[in-house]
Structure 1
Amino acid sequence: MTVVVKVGGARAVDPAGALEDVAELVADGRDVVVTHGGSTAVDDTLDALGMTPEYVETPDGVVGRFTDTETMEVFEMVLPGLVNTELVASLRSAGVDAVGLSGVDGGLLSGPRTSAVRVLDDGKRKIRRGDHAGRLESVDTDLLDLLLADGYTPVVCPPMAGADDGDVTPVNTDADGVAAAIAGALSATVVFLTDVPGVFDSEGTLIERVETPAEWRTVETVADGGMGRKVMAIEDALSDGAPSAVIADAGADQPVCSALDGGGTHVAPSAVTADSDAPEVDAT
């Protein structure tokens, strides 16, 4: 069974343990696809350049990055150019034949550009134009299957190939959504590594198993911010064919292996049904 590992981009997330686990899984003959974001690295670079990161809230309450032209240039420089290269180098140092790819490479990840986004501004609904974001609709599984069959471990990140008036242009897309789309397309288990042990209920207790629609609605209720985006990504992954999804702590001992062995919050496909109340939101 293929495993998709999404390494979180928060400042508190150290990928070292996850990469060691990936090397162990690959050595044991497992197919692994690593995905990642890098919002912290992007924000740090923007700050160093004297630019201010801009985040907007949609009418559905989802907060996402507004990626104007200058921010998109930084995004292209940092994610595939810096973060991806460092992860690939670390994996290769551990004996893994890792190959770095952005979603633009080979048209691996593609979908329409959504240059206009609905936002809330002082409580009013407005349209912001000029966003370099996209709605991920297609994963080239042939490319991933080819690499995996030849013994390579893909390390995938945004941007994706966005269709814009007939041209292909790099656009931002949500990194959790990338992991979900790849997991669904490959029918792979997906592990989201973050800076907390999983999803907690309103009493502060870790939710270990989510197997029914009622349990899923509880998760939707308590998850907000970045965790809310992961919950939406999990619904997409399971609906598209992933056999299971896990949210787990990147700082745990052997974070990937422990997640696959039962650690974190595990969600089964039976929890995500047509009557689930999860909102549909374009990832930006």
Structure 2
Amino acid sequence: MSGSDAVADAAGDAAGDPPVVVKIGGAKAVDPAGAVGDVADLVDDGRAVVVVHGGSTVVDETIERLGMEPEYVESASGVTGRFTDADAMEAFTMAMAGKLNTELTALFREAGVDAVGLSGVDGGLLSGPRKSAVRVLEDGKKKIKRGEHSGRIESANADLLAGLLADGYTPVVSPPMEGRESDGGVTPVNADADRAAAAVAGALGADLVLLTDVAGVYADPEDPDTLIESAATPDDLVALESAAEGFMSKKVMAATEALSGGSARVVVADANADDPVLAALAGSGTTIRRSALDDADDDDTEGDETEETEAVDA
């Protein structure tokens, strides 16, 4: 039985609805209360739910409290991300798997959800090769920066999640991921939380809701009245990718990865709206459907992505 089949059985949803993966952003502007309440309602209704969270703001604060400065670099392909050396990685793990995951798990349990907190390292939940060096742009010049602790997620342990869901638990998942070393060793490394959620959603065949601090993807990033409500064709997706800027470009990238992996739809929506998860599943925000993927179009950015830093998205 596949992970997605096992989750479908675990959910016991008479309506045949797929599981839901909810990614809660970690920016200060994001209030998780609405998402917590919605997840509790979904679980009460018998829906299988997995929560993934980010935490870039708290990671930066933790780094600063330890007397360091957060370091961001620009990749050779123009993407800005966190550079995570050994000291920053220690702070990252403290903030994400320690503080934030524990606090969010407690909020869900207070709401009556039988939540269990997991990092991507636990049970090999999120796994892929470690990147110890990245190509960056400094003063207009391409350089190799070594000492990095990041990775690109290649697999998500759907069977682990399915087992927890079958036992009535709601997983609350946080980076770091399991970084595989060339010598067979394992090192906890940084991974983007949106793309972690995408890996989980794809593995489970789940609907993915990416909650953030805006209503969705805007055609004009400065004008909330230009919300793009849906992308259902390859042309729609091209327009969406062109409109997405900054942190939103990572969310659109994560959406395409989730859809390619097996998710049927991805919704980018406002975490601070009333009933944010339920509203997103009902059509608010920006909905991206699997039909938007052009299966004949090879992803020729794949090679470049292995050189990029993996920032923790808000």
| TM category, shorter | over 0.9
User: Which segment drifts farther, 42-51 or 140-149?
Assistant: 42-51
- The answer to whether 1:172 aligns with 2:193 is no
What TM-score comes out, normalization by structure 1 length?
0.97
Tell me what 1:211 maps to. 232
User: Which segment drifts farther, 123-132 or 273-282?
Assistant: 273-282
- In structure 1, how many angstroms separate the alpha carbons of the residues matched to 2:185 and 2:204? 27
Tell me what 1:82 maps to. 99
Tell me what 2:292 maps to. 271
What TM-score comes out, normalization by structure 2 length?
0.88
Deviation at 1:41, TM superposition (A): 0.3
Alignment of 1:227-246 (within 5 A): 227-246=248-267
Q: Equivalent of 2:175, from 158, 183, 193?
A: 158
Unaligned runs of 5+ in 1: none
Unaligned runs of 5+ in 2: 1-17
Q: Describe the SS at the equivalent of 1:133.
A: strand
Tell me what 2:132 maps to. 115
- In structure 1, how many angstroms separate the alpha carbons of the residues matched to 2:163 and 2:84? 32
- Contact 1:112–1:134 under 8 Å retained in 2: yes
- Residues 226, 276 of structure 1: alpha-carbon distance in 2 compared, 3 angstrom cutoff: farther
Alignment of 1:184-203 (within 5 A): 184-202=202-220
Amino acid in the other structure paired with 1:181: A
Tell me what 1:182 maps to. 200
- In structure 2, how many angstroms separate the alpha carbons of the residues matched to 1:53 and 1:94? 34
- Contact 1:10–1:38 under 8 Å retained in 2: yes
- Residues 261, 210 of structure 1: alpha-carbon distance in 2 compared, 3 angstrom cutoff: same
Number of aligned residue pairs: give it: 284
Deviation at 1:107, TM superposition (A): 1.1
Deviation at 1:223, TM superposition (A): 0.7
Deviation at 1:224, TM superposition (A): 1.5
- In structure 1, how many angstroms separate the alpha carbons of the residues matched to 2:153 and 2:124? 11
Tell me what 1:60 maps to. 77
Q: Deviations over 1:117-149 (max 9, x none)?
A: 111111111111100001110111110000001
- In structure 2, how many angstroms separate the alpha carbons of the residues matched to 1:276 and 1:196? 31
Tell me what 1:127 maps to. 144
Q: Describe the SS at the equivalent of 1:257.
A: helix
- In structure 2, how many angstroms separate the alpha carbons of the residues matched to 1:114 and 1:123? 23
Q: Describe the SS at the equivalent of 2:258.
A: helix
Q: Describe the SS at the equivalent of 1:83.
A: helix
